[in-house]
Every structure is written in C-alpha cells, then in structure tokens.
Structure 1
C-alpha cells in the first residue's frame, strides 16, 4: 500500500478493499477488490472515528494544485527542437502561453504543418535544427503522447537559434538567420517578431 504523503499517479494500487476504503481521488475496482489512485497527487489516509462500525481507514489522493501548464489544442507553446527527421521534427514543450510546464510534454511538427504555402517543398532540415527554440500552435494530441504542433503562421516558427559558432543568431528574413560572429547564414522557418 502507498505510504502517507507518497506521490502516486493514476492506476497505482493504494490497498485492498478489505483494508482501506476509497476516498476522494481514488476508486475501487470491484473485479479485484483493489483501491486505485484516480489522479496524480499525494496519498492521505484518514482514520475513522473510534465509534465507527467500519474501522477501515479511508485513503484519499490530494491532487497537485501546483500543476504546471498543460498544452491544449489552440494554445501557443514554446518548445525546444530535439530531433529533425525528413518528414517531421520532435520537440520538448517548455511553456504553454506564458506558463512553464512541470511535466515532460513532447510534440511533433510534421512536414505539412511547417508553413502554410508550398507545403510539398518544405525541407525539415532547412526549417529547424536540434536546440532551436520554436513558437508553435498546438493542433491536437497526436499519437504516442506527442502533441501535433504547427508553425504555419507568420508569427510561428524559430524564435531563437544558436549558430555553429555558439552565438545566438539574428533573423534576417522569413527563411534565414545569421550568426553575428561569423556572418554565416543558416536556413530556418523564422517566426515573425512584433506586429
């Protein structure tokens, strides 16, 4: 059984129904008589009053109030590119709007979601590089717990990128960023800054 104040996630066994009663944030599975956590949070065991005929303690899961932001379809996120492949880029979502995330959320920017025009001509390796910081729109919860993201609007795309020389690059057009140190120009799907 989970100890008091232990952090649990949905589906973790909290005890047998012969030993504990499910309280808020937990539920009983009648098929195996086990009490499971229904949400992510801390376990709390509440002892029954001495006069109660049922002396089983009630086990509760107190949800984590300080839950970080969670990406929703339609929200704007800031993410770091982790891997670029021929047809898509993988990212780790760091912020939803202005709020940082506490859990790890991964996202995928598919080739067809990089820009609004000439979709068939999109080259993923000319749009993003690992380590780039991108602003993107959440389209939907995709497959394998990765969100589908889009950069197909002018204000979406790479907002920060490091050059091979280790300098923060400066956007010089919709499709290019330049290293201020070496002057080298690299291709990117650049986000429009300002209005």
Structure 2
C-alpha cells in the first residue's frame, strides 16, 4: 500500500467506477489528491480517504520543519531519512535530499558536503519543495537549521555544538566540522576554557 504526501495525486484503480473525495483528500479537475500524509482507503461507496499513519497526523507542507537522519553523502547532495515533521513522528519511509545550494547561501564553490554532514547525524531542516522519486527537497540555510546531534567519527561519543561550523566531543574535546544548527556559542566557549 502506497504512502501519499499532501498534494500527491492518488493512484486509484481504473474502470467504470466514479470515486469521491473523503477525509484527508480533495478533488481537482476530476482527480483526487491527498491533503495529509497517509495511506489510501476506499470504502464500499467508493469514497476515497487518506488514513494518517501513527497517532499524530504529520501535517507536511512546504515550509514545515523536519527532523531527519543523514543516510548518504554525495558530491552535491545529502540523502536523509525524515523521522519527524514538526513534532509528529513519521513511522514510514520518507526520504529527503539536501542539495549543495541548500546548505548555505555563500561560498558554494568551496563548500564540501562531507564537512557539513556525516552519516548518522541528526539534523533539522526546512521542507522547501517536492522532488522526484518520492524524495523531498530540504534546506538548512537558516541559522536555526543544521546538525543538532552527532557522534564523533572515531570515539563514537556524543558531540555538542561548539561554533557555527564545529561540534565538539564531550569526552575527548576533539572537534569536527559540521553545518551546526544555531549553537549557544557563549555557553560552550565558557565551558571549554
């Protein structure tokens, strides 16, 4: 059974059947679209509904803040698994892409994606548009967005934000480069002196 995103056209069985939009759907130009995230359900009266997954409805829309886990890093993009939309947990496979131009607004020619993210990092990002192949385009250009949780690549210990571009291992004091989500620089600087 497919999981549908808001705005996505529903893939309904073809034939001489006339469907009507129910809860979680809307009809436009003879087609039925999802208005929430969920799975398609058709009742005996051919009313199509989208049933949300989980207890809380993930109201995914352009502009939403998502929490995601970094899966892979390519030359010009990072692939992530979206775990939350705002404060609603996603319990199905929803993936996103952060393109190089959506990491920061300046110095893109010298930006190295592997210095911004590492697989396993937990990030906050903004959903900016629907991509292709069921992947969403995300952005971390705002100060409040970026890596919020990471483990040191060698020690595997927790790291916390140290500056806008570095995180520091709480056990070893070693730093690693990241695109950090708005750290409290004065707090961490005082603790490290």
TM-score (norm 2): 0.71
Which aligned pairs between 1:43-192 and structure 2 lie closer than 5 A?
43-45=42-44, 58-65=45-52, 68-164=57-153, 165-192=155-182
- Cα distance in 2 between the residues matched to 1:170 and 1:8: 38
Q: Do the aligned partners of residues 65 and 112 (structure 1) sit closer, same or farther apart at CA in structure 2, a change above 3 Å counting?
A: closer
Equivalent-residue separation in structure 2 for 1:142 and 1:162 (angstroms): 29
Report how far residue 25 of structure 1 moved. Answer: 4.9
Residue 102 (structure 1) shift:
3.5
Cα deviation, residue 172, structure 1 = 0.9
Structure with higher Rg: it is 1
**Residues 126 and 38 of structure 1: CA distance in aligned 2, closer, same or farther (over 3 Å):** closer
Do residues 11 (structure 1) and 11 (structure 2) align?
Answer: yes
- The whole-number CA distance in structure 2 between the counterparts of 1:156 and 1:92 is 16
Residues 97-133 of structure 1 show CA distances to partners (whole Å, capped at 9, x for unaligned) of 1122243221111111111221222110000000101
The separation in 2 between residues aligned to 1:91 and 1:71, in whole angstroms, is 16
Deviations 1:23-68 (A, max 9, x none): 6459xxxxxxxxxx987334433xxxxxxxxxxxx44444315574
SS of the counterpart of 1:174?
coil
- SS for the counterpart of 2:43 is strand
Q: Which runs of 5+ in 2 are unaligned?
A: 4-9, 23-31, 185-193
> Over aligned residue pairs, what C-alpha RMSD do you find?
2.9
Q: What TM-score do you get using the length of structure 1 for normalisation?
A: 0.71
Count of paired positions: 164
Structure 1 residues 38 and 153 mapped into 2: Cα distance closer, same or farther (>3 Å)? Answer: closer
- Tell me the distance in 1 between the aligned counterparts of 2:115 and 2:125: 17
Corresponding residue of 2:40? 41
